[in-house]
Amino acid sequence: MSVFPTLRYQDPDKAIALLRDAFGFTVAAAHRDDAGTVQHAELVHDGGAVLLGPRREGDRFATGRAVIYTVVDDVDAHHDRAVAAGAEVIMGLTDQDYGSREYAAVDAEDNVWSFGTYRPGS
């Protein structure tokens, strides 16, 4: 993999908890400062990764909301896990005309996380 989406959050720990508990990401690294605040985290899912850190005033990298698409093999089970963990689903399970089955949820800072069976490039 050579592309790593990077997001900034007011509450990185809350974002990590959602990605881990609701969406099934694994925390590969979480670097904290002396106060215990996450400064950089890496979360992985099926060969992909997303990076995240804290939102800081004047940070040119804290550009706002994003839409992240993640491939999952069993989107129905993934959806059910997300709902059970309290994720806010904004698009229910949908069969797309291009053959994918998908749903989407939003995190606490309005980033959209879309999950589906379509695997780009395959």
- Class of CATH domain 6-56+64-116: alpha beta
Distance CA 101, CA 23 (A): 16
- Report the SS3 class of residue 81: helix
Q: What is the pLDDT of residue 85?
A: 96
Q: What is the pLDDT of residue 2?
A: 72
Q: What is the pLDDT of residue 3?
A: 82
Distance CA 68, CA 8 (A): 13
Q: What is the pLDDT of residue 27?
A: 98
Question: Is 103 exposed, middle or buried (CB count within 10 Å of its CB: 0-12, 13-18, 19+)?
Answer: buried
Burial 44-60 (b: 16+ CB within 10 A, else e): ebeebbbebbbeeeeee
Residue with tokens 């698409």: 69
Domain boundaries, the chain: 6-56+64-116
* 100 touches 92 (CB < 8 A): no
Q: What is the pLDDT of residue 36?
A: 95
Residue with tokens 């996380």: 113
Q: What is the pLDDT of residue 60?
A: 82
Distance CA 26, CA 21 (A): 9
One digit per residue, pLDDT tens: the chain, 122 residues?
A: 778 999 999 999 999 999 999 999 999 999 999 999 999 999 999 999 999 999 888 888 777 789 999 999 999 999 999 999 999 999 999 999 999 999 999 999 999 999 999 998 87
- Report the SS3 class of residue 59: coil
